Copies of this chain bind each other. A is one copy, B any other.
Amino acid sequence: MECGSYQLIKKSSECKARLGKVYTTRGIIDTPVFMPVGTHGTVKGIAIEFLHNSKAAIILGNSYHLYLRPGTEVIKKAGGIQKFNSWNKPLLTDSGGFQVFSLSDTRKISEEGVEFRSHIDGSKHFFSPEKSMQVQKDIGADIIMCFDECTPYPADYSYAKNSMELSLKWAKRCKLEFYKDASYQKQALFGIVQGSIYNDLRKISVNEMLNIGFTGYAIGGLSVGEPKEYMYDVLETTLPTIPENKARYLMGVGMPEDLWEGVQRGIDMFDCVIPTRNGRNGQVFTSFGKINIRNKEYIQDFSPLDPECNCPTCQGYTKAYLNHLVRAQETLYLMLLSLHNIYFMVNLMSKIRKSLENDTFLNSKKEFFEKYYFRK
């Protein structure tokens, strides 16, 4: 099967949710899937061995960060990102677009591309659609993304339209550059639908992206501060246009509730820094809702974070001990809490897939939320 291709296994009889598989050079991914984020090629705080055990099927790396540090030359010499970081399963890189716009210092945007200064040392760099493709080819992920502008929120209609049109022009150049050499035999290129919260712009974007033609399609520019209803609306407007035999990826999303809502509307892939970022702040997902392990009530709580969780943290440690680690600023907590949160997301997606197998998605969703929001 072509890298990045999607196989539909089963559709829900109740909604747009779907069970499927995404084929990649380094393995087959059961979807819907959650992808933990490894900004610098490493999921923050988690040794690869633990990540493997979590059953995470695919992780994400950030091209902007990897380009600046350690640099594509090092990764290329190592034999690609999965040789470099010892993660020998599927990996997806974003294009660098989001970070160039949001993280870098002073930047100049033109149709040609974006000139920016590194947030690390102020050095000057230039990213264009072509450059992003070259960087992502050197990094060597299984799935790579078009270089685009992630339209900020709020954006007025005119800004959103221009931004969406620029991303379309760039998408064409990305495709040309991508198919220039034989990389495409091992990597897949996904297009990204933009258009902010304007449904007519989203429709133009998705149709034009389909005209250009990509192996898979992402919905970008969501979960950037807009009310959730807008996100659902964009998904309902956009996804039905995308052919059934293509993977749909909701970028930068999300929270447990977003995963259910996204899947219900037809999303196959998600990524988010939430499990690791929350872990670093002491915030933990459990079957009975979110908790902050730093809270006083856990000082003498000798039960695990989540009695239903099979992660090493829940199997090996109590809330009291984790509370102590956070209060004593022992770095071990970064790893133990992040790992638990990753297991939580991966296990949640596994539950969602199971409900799709049994065609009980809506009921499973209801049960999940009853427990998640109404804990004693």
Task: State whether the Cβ of A154 lies closer than 8 Å to any Cβ in chain B.
Answer: no
**Total number of A residues with any Cβ neighbor in B under 8 Å:** 39
Task: State whether the Cβ of A328 lies closer than 8 Å to any Cβ in chain B.
Answer: yes
Are the C-beta atoms of B334 and A74 separated by less than 8 Å? no
Are the C-beta atoms of B330 and A47 separated by less than 8 Å? no
Are the C-beta atoms of B299 and A74 separated by less than 8 Å? yes
Are the C-beta atoms of A317 and B70 separated by less than 8 Å? no
Residues of B within 8 A of A334 (CB): 331
Chain B CB within 10 A, most for which of A40, A48, A321? A321
Task: State whether the Cβ of A106 lies closer than 8 Å to any Cβ in chain B.
Answer: no
Task: State whether the Cβ of A8 lies closer than 8 Å to any Cβ in chain B.
Answer: no
Residues of B within 8 A of A328 (CB): 40, 65, 69-70
Indicate which residue in B47, B70, B335 contacts A312 across the interface (CB closer than 8 Å). B47
Residues of B within 8 A of A202 (CB): none
Indicate which residue in B44, B78, B331 contacts A45 across the interface (CB closer than 8 Å). B331
Residues of B within 8 A of A354 (CB): none
Are the C-beta atoms of A46 and B332 separated by less than 8 Å? yes
Indicate which residue in B49, B50, B69, B335 contacts A324 across the interface (CB closer than 8 Å). B69
Say yes or no: A45-B316 contact (C-beta < 8 A), given A74-B299, A84-B321, A85-B321.
no
Report the separation of the CA atoms of residues A327 and B74 in the bound assembly, to the nearest whole angstrom.
13
Task: State whether the Cβ of A42 lies closer than 8 Å to any Cβ in chain B.
Answer: yes
Report the separation of the CA atoms of residues A318 and B74 in the bound assembly, to the nearest whole angstrom.
12
Say yes or no: A316-B86 contact (C-beta < 8 A), given A299-B70, A327-B70.
yes
Indicate which residue in B42, B44, B47, B323 contacts A70 across the interface (CB closer than 8 Å). B323
- Identical copies of this chain, number: 2
Task: State whether the Cβ of A300 lies closer than 8 Å to any Cβ in chain B.
Answer: yes
Task: State whether the Cβ of A336 lies closer than 8 Å to any Cβ in chain B.
Answer: yes
Indicate which residue in B44, B85, B317, B323 contacts A331 across the interface (CB closer than 8 Å). B44
Report the separation of the CA atoms of residues A41 and B324 in the bound assembly, to the nearest whole angstrom.
10
Report the separation of the CA atoms of residues A131 and B109 in the bound assembly, to the nearest whole angstrom.
68
Residues of B within 8 A of A324 (CB): 40-41, 69-70, 74, 84
Are the C-beta atoms of B42 and A330 separated by less than 8 Å? yes
Residues of B within 8 A of A78 (CB): 302, 318, 320-321
Closest B-chain residue to A79, C-beta based? B302
Task: State whether the Cβ of A228 lies closer than 8 Å to any Cβ in chain B.
Answer: no
Report the separation of the CA atoms of residues A335 and B332 in the bound assembly, to the nearest whole angstrom.
8
CB-defined A-B contacts under 8 Å, sample of 24: A40-B330, A42-B330, A44-B331, A44-B332, A45-B330, A45-B331, A45-B332, A45-B335, A48-B316, A69-B328, A70-B299, A70-B320, A70-B328, A74-B299, A74-B300, A74-B320, A74-B324, A77-B300, A78-B318, A78-B321, A85-B321, A86-B317, A331-B331, A332-B335
16 new A-B contacts at CB < 8 Å, known A44-B331, A47-B316: A40-B324, A40-B325, A42-B330, A42-B332, A44-B332, A47-B312, A70-B320, A74-B299, A74-B300, A77-B302, A84-B320, A84-B321, A84-B324, A85-B321, A86-B316, A331-B335
